[in-house]
Structure 1
């Protein structure tokens, strides 16, 4: 069933925003709910323009609210964050009053915390979706009154946690080898490469630091590309994000016929195609990035962000590495030489690359969106459609 936006009464409100990792899992759940006959959905997001644009492109209505993260220390900024949270709760109260949902999905972050608090005050059931191995503060709060807590990893410390896996977009879930609508074959890969301008003869390394980007990762990629400039069998598709959008590119070559082929983009508007075309993914260790690369069955080199809340990216990366699907580079060890070495070693060993890809597919939960949708339907006191 195709998804349709809801500007009146909604069956569910899906809350989360500020990063792609707090948007795309909710969109995947929305697709599953629409397929289950519950397409009247409304999103609550941050005021970041990209949030509303991504949700609108998927066919759903969204309301942007006040949201600001708290500092993990005594700071004047926390007073502003508290005021923003109170404002956000008030705005969410209005959204819930207008849409009268049967259930709220809280995806983590302070957008979802505001909506979960408003839902608690209005008596609307809440289901928590935690993307990381270590739960964030917002979800730890919301879990206190949630009907259910869906997690991406085993062992996440939330009351009543059920590992569903992290939902990914349907177009990515279909790449999984076990998908009945599988698009992981050579024909889909060839079509994706043609669309991206990548030759069939090349190995494609997809690099992403998330929608906001990572200056540290971008610098390491520039250094690695300089060392790999003679590798005519490799293409690097580098998504620099907001952090690198205004930086002058420094590729060794943008010529697809000479040496390393380098593509530089601020944002990838067709991530399913990019993953379909890729052989290896280099990324941060956010839950959404890892879930998407695993669902697509792609080997990964992951660089956990140092200083992330409760070191959740370190825990995420460790889980994927333990499954045999990833190599981890600590941020303190990240530089062009180390990154170039890891890329060369993996791409230069076809058996190892294939084993990592198979391990990624085993780690993935391609039916996660349906599992989370089932929890929402149960929390709303309804039965799933046959």
Structure 2
């Protein structure tokens, strides 16, 4: 008998890529399983999920707009509409289990599934659970988590420590440092920084790096700089005189190459970024995005910083501190080695399979 799974959520790469990794693991274990994704219309998942070979249905749902209160006028109507649509999807697809990975579409689908008596599983990626997941957690069968101490948000008997899923292209990558540096047109004899601010880029990281370009080159250090689209032209112009040492991209598709080329990574502290950094074992300086819900990126980063598995600079302190923290880390081989060892112990390259088995176990 063919089993059916709905995977609901999305909004950012941080939700979508782990969701696809779970779907791929389910397919590997049970090739004839029927998987349907449910996302938010107009969001990234509507493009990325079909590219990965899975069907997706869209809900017209948005989150609470903190910066412009007037934009929330239609929110109750959108929630009501998305709950109705979720109910219709459940009736037509008849899933055996619904998996929530976070993001706007997660709540309506899991809420309706729980009302129907369909078993649900939550994959909580962050160290600080959001409000909707806390509500859904009460009736979920299992909650897969990546951080310790999550019993302050969820019933302890439902928690399973699985880690966050990482794309196979990163966890199974066989690329060498030499190949990676060659790919970016860089030298294997120089230290290399990889700066990445998530799929959209990070304003503070970009603005903190721009005045340091001359110093980076003067110290004979290389930089792979993923800026995101909004800052790309500015960064390209600023880096133009230093083309041999500084490579600027709006988006990097071959993340395994970028990680492998790097001696030090400068990164936001989203759950996906952290899961990847643990698997690739890189010394990292985190700059958490301060406006994430419940400031969960700071919470994620501190979880590692407290284990001596990363360094942290607050978003508003990047301009003052980046130069000092970055260059002193690159000079301190012992500290780089310690951070590498400690972060490597926190990685779980098989989280996708562990979660897939938990999903199948509750059907």
**Normalising by structure 2, what TM-score?**
0.90
Residue 16, structure 1, aligned to residue 14, structure 2: no
Moved over 6 A (4+): none
CA distance in 2: counterparts of 1:110 and 1:50, whole angstroms:
12
**Counterpart residue number, 2:272:** 288
- Are the counterparts in 1 of residues 227 and 235 from structure 2 also a CA contact under 8 Å? no
**Counterpart residue number, 1:239:** 226
CA distance in 2: counterparts of 1:47 and 1:248, whole angstroms:
32
Structure 1: 5+ residue stretches without partners: 1-8, 176-182, 381-386
Q: Does the residue aligned with 1:23 lie in a helix, a strand or coil? A: helix
Change (3 A) 1:76 1:252: closer
Q: Does the residue aligned with 2:223 lie in a helix, a strand or coil? A: strand
Residue among 45, 52, 58 paired with 2:52: 58
Change (3 A) 1:55 1:193: farther
CA distance in 2: counterparts of 1:50 and 1:244, whole angstroms:
20
**Counterpart residue number, 1:309:** 293
- Are the counterparts in 1 of residues 11 and 43 from structure 2 also a CA contact under 8 Å? no
Residue among 351, 356, 360 paired with 2:339: 356
Residue among 154, 157, 177 paired with 1:158: 154
**1:1-386 paired onto structure 2 within 5 Å:** 11-38=4-31, 39-48=33-42, 50-71=44-65, 75-156=69-150, 157-159=153-155, 160-174=158-172, 183=174, 188-232=176-220, 234-245=221-232, 247=234, 249-253=236-240, 255-257=242-244, 261-335=245-319, 337-380=320-363
Q: How many pairs does the alignment contain?
A: 357
- The CA deviation string for residues 282-321 of structure 1, in whole angstroms up to 9 with x for no partner, is 1111111111111111111001122432221111111111
**Normalising by structure 1, what TM-score?**
0.85
- Are the counterparts in 2 of residues 113 and 141 from structure 1 also a CA contact under 8 Å? no
Query: How far apart are residue 161 of structure 1 and its match?
Result: 2.2
Structure 2: 5+ residue stretches without partners: none
- Are the counterparts in 1 of residues 8 and 98 from structure 2 also a CA contact under 8 Å? yes
CA RMSD of superposed structures (Å): 2.3
Give 1 or 2: higher helix fraction: 2
